[in-house]
Structure 1
Amino acid sequence: MCRRGADVTIDIMYGDEFSEVYVSYYEGQGKDYAAEAEDITRLIRERTPGADSLLDVACGTGAHLRRFNQLFAHSEGVELSEGMVKFGRVHYPELTLHQGDMRDFHLGRKFDAVTCMFSSIGHVGGPDGLDATARCFAEHLVTGGTLVVEPWWFPENFIDGYVASGVSEVDGRKMVRLSHSVREGDATKITVHMAIADAERGLRHVTEVGLLSLFEQARYEKAFAQAGIDAEYVEGGPLGRGLFVGTRR
């Protein structure tokens, strides 16, 4: 991490400052984490009736997990970012959060369902990382259990040079987000600038730069199949990127 006065440059989704405003920004944009968790729960129970335990991988601060925790008798989350885990543990002490890499974590138990939302799977770092992640998913799923993964864009859907912007206000804090996405080999390089202002702390600025792998639909399906999960791609999903829904053999 490097600092320049009020500016902070961090890896995408990893710094304390970004963790603090991450969920607030998207909620201010109208993202309904609870409703999304309810939709995913219905999808899970259509395929695994009676499913009552769930693991949310790359759970961030626990925004989806808070609702999953109410809908399942037992739920846990795994997240790589120390800042996000720390934030979640402080603000949502009822949640069980583990710090771990989705490509290599071992909790020592299996769940009726495993989820990975908000295109977090794009951060696996390439085909080997995707295969390792799929194996970790399978390791934590009971036979007949359901996997739900929200992918990043497929290569043919990604718009090179895409620019996005948004403004949110939550509890008196204003947040302005600008992003620029370009193709870099088989990945998306996304640069995000966020300006944050409130009465107590004034104005500050966070810059994030990250890479999200661009996998074809067939490559996702191959990774899941090799891990013992029969998965299908379902159009739609919370962000229009679709969902992979699979069953552990």
Structure 2
Amino acid sequence: MYENNSAAEMYDLLYQDRKDYRAEAREVAGLIREKKGDAQSLLDVACGTGIHLEAFAGLFDRVEGVDLSRPMLEVAKQRLPDTPLHHADMRDFRLGSSFDAIVCMFSSIGYLRSTQDLDAALRTFAGNLTAGGVVVIEPWYFPQTFLDHHVSGHALTHEGRTITRVSHSTRVGNLTRMELHYVLADREGVQHRSEIDELTLFTSDEYEAAFSQAGLKVDYVASAEARPGYFVGTAA
């Protein structure tokens, strides 16, 4: 997924056109400070191209990012040249410093394949927290809320380029299988690329169990509109 800079930049443009990253960052910062009012440092896990991270940088004194995709990190580095960005797996990383808050946004947690992976990630998050630190995860959909055979699409024109994205989602067991097609048209011609994304439909109980085994007290906070809400965990 996002195997080159062109794909990462296409992702970047499409989602900036349809999501209010700054509003989401403010919402999450509010959840964090309800639990830890003096929170000043934040780690964004699966930070992608750094759009949420850029918004968090205006809300916290120190921010850093982690992602498994090098092309995504290269785009993030262009956006945030002075911010530490780490190439690492969310299931197992040590950065040499602790954070008051660790977030995992945009349902990126769903790319984990099993409850064992989910448990490992939460243990890793907890191990990189300060005392009383907070973990906020925006989950993927739950088994009972996922819409099988869902179709979506989006298009934009930006600086002489038109980009379209269409997707079709189906369920295979506890996996969401999303087939995505992108078409880019510019003065050089038309390009097409496609990909298959698979995200796990973890249950609420599985999320809460992962927080608990990591030693985090967890609450679920519902979100407005059709978004999946947040799990908010607090360390002792």
Bin for the TM-score computed over the shorter chain = over 0.9
Name which of 30, 36, 56 aligns with 2:44: 56
Residue 20 of structure 1 is matched in structure 2 by 9
State whether structure 2 residue 217 is matched by structure 1 residue 230: yes
CA distance in 1, matches of 2:2, 2:40: 29
TM-score scaled to structure 1, two decimals?
0.90
TM-score scaled to structure 2, two decimals?
0.95
Residue 92 of structure 1 is matched in structure 2 by 80
Cα distance, 1:95 vs. partner?
A: 2.2
Cα distance, 1:170 vs. partner?
A: 2.6
Percent identity between the two aligned chains: 44
Residue 163 of structure 1 is matched in structure 2 by 151
Residue 232 of structure 2 is matched in structure 1 by 245
Residue 66 of structure 2 is matched in structure 1 by 78
Query: Is 2:50–2:79's contact at 8 Å kept on the other side of the alignment?
Result: no
Residue 89 of structure 2 is matched in structure 1 by 101
Cα distance, 1:237 vs. partner?
A: 5.7
Count of matched residue positions in the alignment of Structure 1 and Structure 2: 236
Report the 3-state secondary structure (helix = DSSP H, G, I; strand = E; otherwise coil) of the residue aligned with 1:130: helix
Give the AA of the match of 1:166.
H
Query: Is 1:134–1:223's contact at 8 Å kept on the other side of the alignment?
Result: yes
Cα distance, 1:238 vs. partner?
A: 7.7
Cα distance, 1:131 vs. partner?
A: 0.7
- The runs of at least 4 aligned residues of structure 1 exceeding 4 Å deviation read none
CA distance in 1, matches of 2:57, 2:228: 25
CA distance in 1, matches of 2:212, 2:127: 13
Segment of structure 1 superposing worse, 201-210 or 45-54: 201-210
Name which of 196, 221, 224 aligns with 1:209: 196
Task: Compare relative contact order (CA 8 Å, sep 6+) and give the higher one, 1 or 2.
Answer: 1
Residue 99 of structure 2 is matched in structure 1 by 111
Query: Is 1:122–1:212's contact at 8 Å kept on the other side of the alignment?
Result: yes
Deviations for 1:56-114, whole angstroms, at most 9, x for unmatched residues? 00000110101111211111000000110111113431222111111111112110000
Cα RMSD (Å) of the superposition? 1.5
Residue 135 of structure 1 is matched in structure 2 by 123
CA distance in 2, matches of 1:173, 1:126: 39
Report the 3-state secondary structure (helix = DSSP H, G, I; strand = E; otherwise coil) of the residue aligned with 2:58: helix
Query: Is 2:100–2:130's contact at 8 Å kept on the other side of the alignment?
Result: yes
Report the 3-state secondary structure (helix = DSSP H, G, I; strand = E; otherwise coil) of the residue aligned with 1:209: strand
Unaligned runs of 5+ in 2: none
Report the 3-state secondary structure (helix = DSSP H, G, I; strand = E; otherwise coil) of the residue aligned with 1:135: helix
Residue 141 of structure 2 is matched in structure 1 by 153
Segment of structure 1 superposing worse, 16-25 or 50-59: 16-25
Name which of 18, 27, 31 aligns with 1:39: 27
Cα distance, 1:239 vs. partner?
A: 5.3
CA distance in 2, matches of 1:217, 1:241: 11
State whether structure 2 residue 190 is matched by structure 1 residue 219: no
CA distance in 2, matches of 1:193, 1:15: 16
Unaligned runs of 5+ in 1: 1-11
Query: Is 1:56–1:114's contact at 8 Å kept on the other side of the alignment?
Result: yes
Report the 3-state secondary structure (helix = DSSP H, G, I; strand = E; otherwise coil) of the residue aligned with 1:71: coil
Q: 1:68 to 1:172 in 2, by over 3 A?
A: same
